[in-house]
Amino acid sequence: MVKIATASALFCVAQASTFKVDWTDCGDSATHAKVTELSPTAVTTGKATTLHGKGTLDEDVKGATFSAVIKANGVQVASCSGDASKDIVCNLPLKAGHISVKAMSFPLKAGEIPVDAEVKLSSLIPASLAKATSHVAAVSDTGDKLVCLDIKTSKQQPTFDEWAAEYGINGDDARENYNSNVLVVDELNARDSSATYAVNRFSGMSHEEFAAVYLNLKQRPTSSTDLPALEMLTESAQIDDAVDWDVTPVKDQGQCGSCWTFGVMGAIEGLNKVVTGKEVILSEQQLVDCDKDGINDGCNGGLTDYAYKYLTGKDLFTLGSYPYVSGKSGHGNSCQSGTPSGVSISGYLTVDGAGSGSRGDSALATALMTGPVTITVAADNQFANYHSGIMTGVPTQCNLNHAILATGFGPNFWKIKNSWGSSWGDAGFAKFERSTSGCGPFGIFFQDAGFQPKLASMNVLV
């Protein structure tokens, strides 16, 4: 059962480009043919490319059947099968192209045999199909394993010059950092079949440079056990299988370490939209400039619960009247006034975490039944280079450095909204696995699992 669904799904595409081809012989000791070669190692979208393969066969074969299963981001998207003496074609969804296994001429004699396939990808590939694995198998007419071949296609990262031209960045340091980041992206794509990773506007920075600006969430100086706790649903109540809140648009914190302000304002905006059906866009600049309590410090980082304390009972200004400018300047300004939005909070609730992955998982799911939740993560290279799908194999260490907004969940993932603009990730959003190991995925249950605002007009969260 779904609590509430977003209005529509965004269709993200990768522009016409080159896709890398990797292959693996997946046969075992009982497989009679071993694939030894497959080329070329890249295909260009918009046209068909034949992959010429060779293998060695250890016995004569009179006939066989082929089968192929295609998975993208770990999910099966197509399958086909048929007589191996004829081409079999697997059509990709959304008219994204096809992958076909070319016919073999029977009878086959022991020795070298051809193992050919054809790949045709549309010039515009949905992000969900940007990385795919085609598992090809053949069984002889006597029931023996004949061939096993995995063909992996993934979008090839642009050259430094192509990337630099797109983002207007250059220099030897940027080139060196970019080339290093491409290796990281390639390794992530090879390791995680459930998600795709890609270079982005941050790829000219070293991870240390990136972290200094974007991953500077402050550490809580004292325990938050005195904060109000979110009551858990009773055992008789049921948590839905999936929730996907329609929140306000993605924003961009720019060259300012103000993630903490976006995680908080995004939750207030989102909950107000859930409750009233109205979209009111609030000013993060108000927090950057005005919340100076010795902990929260504008572009130098802050804490989300301290931001909620500051905002409680105050007028929250609209973004239009108090625009966000620190993304360009990299610093805050003197506190100003703006137009009251009509939205205010009377407090906030704490979602239990306290280092327990299992307790935090159920607590966060319970809170998300009501509306979006401000959470914090330990973002790393995997998080920073995310493009689409569900991140798996994520770290579960007990550490935090970045504030974001949890907007939903499914049986095996959390969905979040980030503050790095709509060009990052899946139109500014991301999904990562639900894990109860350690302190949870990306450390989200290290301290509190999150914070949820109480709108001033609400006596209780509804």
Indicate the helix (H) or strand (E) that contains 138. Answer: strand 131-140
Query: Choosing from 32, 135, 387, 402, which is the catalytic residue?
Result: 402
Return the bridge partners of 37, or none: 54
CB 182 within 8 A of CB 204: no
- Which residue out of 90, 259, 290, 439 is catalytically annotated? 259
| Helix pair angle (160-167, 172-191), 10° resolution | 110
Which residues is 117 bridged to in the sheet? 51, 101
The answer to whether the CB of 267 falls within 8 A of the CB of 304 is no
Mapped onto helix, strand or coil, the DSSP state of residue 207 is helix
- Owner of token pair 């329609």: 246
Terminal-residue alpha carbon distance, the chain? 18
Give the separation between CA 295 and CA 134, rounded to whole angstroms. Answer: 52
Active site residue 402: yes
308 φ/ψ angles, rounded to the nearest 5 degrees? -60, -40
- Of 90, 215, 205, give the one whose Cα is nearest residue 153: 90
DSSP state of 16: S
The separation between CA 156 and the C-alpha centre of its own chain, rounded to angstroms, equals 18
Q: Quick one: which of 201, 196, 193 has its CA closest to 185? A: 196
- Cα–Cα distance measured from residue 437 to residue 37, given in angstroms and rounded to the nearest whole number: 41
Helical segments of 192-292, H only: 207-214, 259-276, 284-290
Query: Do 420 and 381 touch, CB atoms closer than 8 A?
Result: no
Q: Is 207 part of the annotated catalytic residue set?
A: no
Q: Is 26 a catalytic residue?
A: no
b vs e for 192-227, b when ≥16 Cβ sit within 10 Å of the residue's Cβ? Answer: bbbbbbbbbbbbbbebeebbebbbbbbebeeeeeeb
Cβ neighbours of residue 366 under 8 Å, at least 6 residues apart? 230, 232, 233, 239, 351
State the Cα–Cα distance between residues 306 and 292, nearest whole angstrom.
10
Given the residues 177, 296, 401, 418, select the one marked as catalytic.
418
Residue tagged 């010429």 (tokens): 52
User: Which residues are marked as active site?
Assistant: 259, 402, 418
